[in-house]
Amino acid sequence: MSQEDKRLIVKSGNIFDSLTGSTLFNHTVVIEKNKIVWVNSDDDFAKEETDQIIDATGKTILPGMVECHVHIYASGNPHFEREYVRTKTDMYHYFALNNSQKHLQSGFTCVRDAGCYPGIAPALRRIFDTGLLAGPRLVVTDKGIWQWGNQEGVSPDPIINFDRENDQVLAGVDSVKHAVRDLKYRGANYVKTATTGGVLHGMESKVSFTLWTEEELEAIVKEAHRNDMHVAAHAHGKAGIVKAVKAGIDTIEHASFLDEEAVDLLVKQGNYIIPTQTAAMSLVSPALMQIMPPEIQKKTIEVDKQMKISHKLAFEKGVKIAIGTDAGTPGNYHGNTGNEVVLMVKDVGMTPVQAMQAATIGGAKAIWMDEKIGSLESGKFADLLICEQNPLENIDLITNYKNFSHVIKDGKVMVEKGKITYFSPLQPLHH
Ligand SMILES: [Zn+2]
């Protein structure tokens, strides 16, 4: 029997049941290949001769966490504009690999990329899926679908032309339908778009303004859903959020400016919001503010302040929330998503159990992965974390890499106490 055919047993731990929020004491997880095949009380566990056993006595077992919003190619360099002109395009493949691994090291076994240079994210997903390199499960949009008109380009022409080539400038129902089908062909799992301007774009990129027409947005959603893809919209201002929700977009990214009316609509339609508070928190730090252009400083301070108010209101009223950081934006380094989980407790008002549900089953539902991940159940992928100390008793522990004695993805122990220990096996020659 080869190493890969042996069952992996995580024995006698205390399992966080993300579906109910309760803890199942002294339970054992049996893994065959990349799937969980059995979860039950220790008393009912029958050992087999060849089992590989990890003793989790007294430890907490969590489902692998889900990070719903990162830009995997971008490293979070505060001098992002300088990096942009001093980096060869092919280098972004390696940045993406390195950044992905940081998520895995910090307990996030599934990561949704929210927009990348063409080709990078789908290719990396295949590399990780085949077990060639240690990395999280990726859910990707490739290059997304952009309206462009409500952003102001602020770069030299060669860069604007490069972006234009990569991003596709779209208008009209047929044009967006074509783009959705093209994304599917390119290996996207879902469609990312934007219904407002962004914080880092030029002065004329107002976060309150929204450009797509209702018809265009509805066409994106319909075509994506027909292709079994969900849709995410970057949306800061209320008008763009409301338009996205009405069009049936599944996840609202940032959701910075919410009022009672917008929140009621979100509750009614059942969309998820992905707060990305870490992005604003990183930008408003004095070190980052100093080097940002004045118009970005002004927008950021406003967005950071409003986000906290909006997300708290949303949570209190029952809007569904999943975890995402927007890692890759300036000062927002990959591998710190635990920080966002803590912010959900400290700023938004979740209990640690609710925050951990948002980080596991909530994220899985938001990105249409809940039949495969998000809870520890027979039939799901074997993505789980063994914690020395229980983060549900002290949520700050979720930011501590070293507290994860094992990060298991696809049934393979990939990380031990923050260090990657998985490498694809050597293949023997045939004689
Ligand atoms: Zn983003």
Amino acid at site 149 = G
Q: How far does the centroid of ligand 1 lie from the alpha carbon of residue 180, in Å? A: 19
Does residue 243 lie in a domain region?
yes
Q: What percent of the chain has pLDDT over 90?
A: 77
Reading the block at residue 185, the tokens are 């062909």
CB atoms near residue 281 (< 10 Å):
20
- 279 phi and psi angles, rounded to 5 deg: -65, -50
- 43 phi and psi angles, rounded to 5 deg: -60, -30
If one counts the domains in the chain, the total is 2
What does the pLDDT average to over 378-387?
Answer: 98
Burial class (CB in 10 A: 0-12, 13-18, 19+), 301: middle
Q: Give yes or no: residues 187 and 336 share one domain.
A: yes
What does the pLDDT average to over 139-153?
Answer: 78
Q: Give yes or no: residues 210 and 295 share one domain.
A: yes
Q: How far does the centroid of ligand 1 lie from the alpha carbon of residue 421, in Å? A: 30
Provide the pLDDT confidence category of residue 123 given band limits of 50, 70 and 90.
Answer: very high
Q: How far does the centroid of ligand 1 lie from the alpha carbon of residue 285, in Å? A: 18
User: What pLDDT does 203 receive?
Assistant: 47
* Nearest alpha carbon to residue 193 among 174, 173, 160, 170: 170
For position 415, which CATH number holds?
Answer: 2.30.40.10
Alpha-carbon distance of 133 to 152, in angstroms, equals 39
User: What pLDDT does 206 receive?
Assistant: 65
Q: How far does the centroid of ligand 1 lie from the alpha carbon of residue 387, in Å? A: 30
Final residue of a domain: which of 330, 350, 366?
Answer: 366
Q: In terms of DSSP bridges, do strands 384-387 and 60-63 run parallel, antiparallel, or are they unpaired?
A: antiparallel
Reading the block at residue 301, the tokens are 């301070």
Q: How far does the centroid of ligand 1 lie from the alpha carbon of residue 419, in Å? A: 27
Q: Give yes or no: residues 59 and 153 share one domain.
A: no
Q: How far does the centroid of ligand 1 lie from the alpha carbon of residue 192, in Å? A: 10
The answer to whether the beta carbons of residues 322 and 363 sit under 8 Å apart is yes
Q: Give yes or no: residues 80 and 188 share one domain.
A: yes
Q: Give yes or no: residues 413 and 309 share one domain.
A: no
Reading the block at residue 411, the tokens are 């049934």
Q: How far does the centroid of ligand 1 lie from the alpha carbon of residue 331, in Å? A: 13
Arithmetic mean of pLDDT over the chain:
93
Q: How far does the centroid of ligand 1 lie from the alpha carbon of residue 317, in Å? A: 25
Beta bridge partners of 113: 70
User: What pLDDT does 163 receive?
Assistant: 72
Q: Give yes or no: residues 378 and 361 share one domain.
A: no
The pLDDT tens digits for 321-347 are 999 999 999 999 999 999 999 999 999
Q: How far does the centroid of ligand 1 lie from the alpha carbon of residue 24, in Å? A: 36
Collect residues with CB below 5 Å from ion ligand 1: 114, 326
Provide the pLDDT confidence category of residue 147 given band limits of 50, 70 and 90.
Answer: confident
Q: How far does the centroid of ligand 1 lie from the alpha carbon of residue 12, in Å? A: 40
Does residue 429 lie in a domain region?
no
Q: Which residues contact 380 (CB under 8 A, 6 or more apart)?
A: 35, 36, 371, 372, 373, 374
Of the candidate ranges 184-193, 196-205, 209-218, 360-369, the one whose mean pLDDT is the lowest:
196-205
What does the pLDDT average to over 60-80?
Answer: 95
Q: Is the pLDDT of residue 170 over 90?
A: no
Q: How far does the centroid of ligand 1 lie from the alpha carbon of residue 69, in Å? A: 6
Does residue 426 lie in a domain region?
no
3-state secondary structure of 149: coil
430: DSSP letter:
P
Q: How far does the centroid of ligand 1 lie from the alpha carbon of residue 282, in Å? A: 13
Q: How far does the centroid of ligand 1 lie from the alpha carbon of residue 190, in Å? A: 14
Does residue 245 lie in a domain region?
yes
The answer to whether the beta carbons of residues 136 and 97 sit under 8 Å apart is no
Q: How far does the centroid of ligand 1 lie from the alpha carbon of residue 369, in Å? A: 20
For position 354, which CATH number holds?
Answer: 3.20.20.140
User: What pLDDT does 364 receive?
Assistant: 98
Domain that holds residue 24: 3-63+372-420
The pLDDT tens digits for 44-68 are 999 999 999 999 999 999 999 999 9
Q: What is the pTM of this model?
A: 0.95
Q: Give yes or no: residues 76 and 12 share one domain.
A: no
Alpha-carbon distance of 335 to 192, in angstroms, equals 22
Does residue 158 lie in a domain region?
yes
Report for 114-118, 164-168, 245-249: range of highest mean pLDDT: 245-249
Q: How far does the centroid of ligand 1 lie from the alpha carbon of residue 198, in Å? A: 9
31: DSSP letter:
E
